[in-house]
Structure 1
Amino acid sequence: MSQIGNASVPNPLGLPTPEPRLADFRTDDNTSLVSMVVIRGVVRTLDVFIAAMVGLAVALFYVDDPEIFANPYYMAAIPFTAMVVALGFDMLGLYSRISFSSFLRQMPRVILIWTIAFALMLAAAFFLKAGHELSRVWLATWYASGLVLLLAERAAVTACVRHWIREGRLFRRAAIYGGSHISEKLITDLEKDVDSDIRIIGVFDDRGNKRIGSMTSGYPHLGSLKNLVSYARHSRLDMIIVALPITAEKRVLEITHSLAVLPAEVKLPAGSSSLRFTPNTYSHVGNVAMIDLLEKPIADWGAVSKWLFDKIVATLALIVLSPIMLAVAVAIKLDSRGPVLFRQKRYGFNNELIQVFKFRSMYTDRCDANASKLVTKDDPRVTRVGRFIRKTSLDELPQLFNVLIGNLSLVGPRPHALEAKAAGNLYDEVVDGYFARHKVKPGITGWAQINGWRGETDTPEKILKRVECDIYYIEHWSLLLDTYILLKTPFALMKSENAY
């Protein structure tokens, strides 16, 4: 049986897809990838925490020593044991996806390493002539209770991992561009790795099935490069492997430029070239060396830290700003008829349509949900209160609820309305590669806004500069940069000459 299964997903192009090669693998279009990097880090932290905290808790409850924290023997034994456990689990492969998915595979190894850790601690105590300093009741209780909790933790991890495997959330969904001998060798090499987290959905090639056939190594040909971009817009795609020789430089550049708008890793197999670089040049997909053409922005721990940052800061901001938001809501209600909030569809992550909240700044019968006409200075559609809240960006405050819901971030490229234009043309008609700004979740504020590119976009230059700032943010993202942008935003709002 192949180790690289086809992703059994609804095909947005209407093209046939064969049955999955792994019977337990399925994917829903709405599922997101669960990072194995994050899972390994969390489980490793839990292992160390359980080993250390159980030892400390038992010592506090059972050891007749009022100054337990000052006792060097206990304070040395606890971290020593926790460290040995983490290293031992790592050496026996207990942080791999295969181990996580089977409790029976983990159980004997967990027992073995836990026992070895205690044996080494006791041996150290014996040679240091410190055995009489450690309570036997403490040691026995710590050993038994720690082992039970470690096994319980691993059972819970197994349950979660199996659930995510059934949903297809632990496998990176990959597409291959190029149906040739390079892709055939690539698939063969990937299938040799029994612990591979790659699931190939198919092969794309612009040459058509008449020239290259309908299958490559058992995987279907799903269309052209344009079809590949369309597929990635409708289904989760984590990686695209361009199976072309590196000598086809012009074609590789063209393909990379087309794929740069997608929130996916783009890689080139190192085996497609006879050139050999230093080991640090390559990344690896399983055992296959790859050259990175494009990286997926804000992944693994970066995504976790940004998610936590968004939720915590947005919650605090709502609490602090609630009096101001209440005052704005009352002013809008007294100024004109209609609802306080205005809901508008905009483009979000990966060109998905999202609904954002704003305080209503226009007369109800003149609202332009699609922004087909830009708001200009002294626009008659804008209410008296609306002019003030638009200039000060107070109309954007309800988008803090969008951050809590999850379709906006605090910081990121601003989401644009569906028919927003610059000089009479849609934004994507003005800026080549415009949709690359949708590789990350949009934000309430961003690098463009604090650099003066907010408000009206009546010229191509204004939207071009805004997109340049958005791309810069995506390529240089960090929590420090997010914090800097948030702190600079209130000062940027004072410059409201372009905001109507």
Structure 2
Amino acid sequence: MVASQIAATRPEAAPATPSLGLPLAPPIERRRLQVYIVLLLVDAAAVLAAFSLAGYLYFGDALHAQVMLEAQLIVPIYWTVAMSNGAYGAEAALNARKGAARAVLAILLAAATIVFLAFFLRASQNFSRAISALGTLLSVGAIVALRDNLTRFAAWRCGPTAMNQLVLLDGGHPLDLPNSYQIDARQHGLEPDVNDPHALNRIGLFLRNMDRVIVSCTPERRAAWSLVLKGANVQGEIVDDQVSELGVLGARRSGGYGALVIATGPLGLRNRILKRGLDVGLASAVLVLLSPLLLLTAIGIKLEDRGPILFVQRRVGRGNRFFSIYKFRSMSVDQTDSHGTASAQRSDRRVTRMGRLIRSSSIDELPQLVNVLKGEMSLVGPRPHALGSLAGDKLFWEVDARYGMRHSLKPGLTGLAQVRGLRGATTHENDLAGRLQADLEYLEGWTIWRDLAILARTLGVISHHNAF
């Protein structure tokens, strides 16, 4: 689909009923089906070719009986898993990385299923473990290599979204939705009158072949457009400014009332177990491995000015509850800022010689591993801020009303903002904006894989030019 735009104009400046070629968009369903079939066939060919190559490398025979048996069994199982996990959905078809990741997961699960069935049915003598491993590995490589070209094919056949999208403007705010058709409902005589079959027919002509329709109208017309869209056989949406203002995540109907879902609560039990297991396991291991470094750091701090080794400060944690955070003391005892009002600056005179060393290498943060083991912090999450932290001349929560949202998860030893280099003093309000946006992005959907990726990237920013 070539992205088309039909410019919307203000109703009072437009002619009464301009004529358009209807339907606005050609049907796209058949093209999507063609893409899915091509993906199915190419993936199957890739798997069969991979197992044949494995047979040639191992047996010297690409058509060896064991090879053909495993290849013929794994393809239908792979198809079944791939269809279930979205490897052939529109999103995966248009995004090479997501498509490849889901396809690889499907082939691995299919291979594991074959191994399980062979063991359960006591038919392992009919299968070669070497062929299974080599064939699966080659299949993964082939699928990943082909997905980029298949993504281009999908975009060529179905357009960048694989959907026909229509924005109907009926007195509401204009929308800038890329790759969509846009028309002004009043300019084209579209009236959401459920008691007028002719009016509904006219709307139906404009909506024909559309997959998604977004209506931006005045509040008093939303109920009427809602009824029209419910009977239009499309994915219908009505723009409501409060959705953005409240940060709505979804909606539900229950017990005779309707409600907007604005918070999801804690992670599910499985995810909480995974995240806590990662925290405890890794934090314990790091504390043991780095115990000599921790001991030397403590001795260095004590020898420099005989003051306390640790700096303890009250911070805001999960659920907006206070907790005491631990850090190696890096400032002179008489100049320690217990409220965190003044962020450390470059060449800050309050920082000791030992403090400058441990701050530049992030060693001062290591005692927070104890906070992690206590359950007050996590390895990955939004960094906890002191109560008196300022961005410019404003407290952090005075800069942006969304600031409190970052407290829905445990604060972290590192986070998305930190691996993006967003750290250091907050001299201006804008210094907080990027960090807050990164924290809110992290909250959108937790996965253990993203936590592991952030931890891996943290190794590259332990020493940073903004760490002082």
Question: What range describes the TM-score normalised by the shorter chain of this pair?
Answer: 0.3 to 0.5
Larger Rg: 2
TM-score of the pair, normalised by structure 1: 0.44
Q: TM-score, normalising length from structure 2? A: 0.47
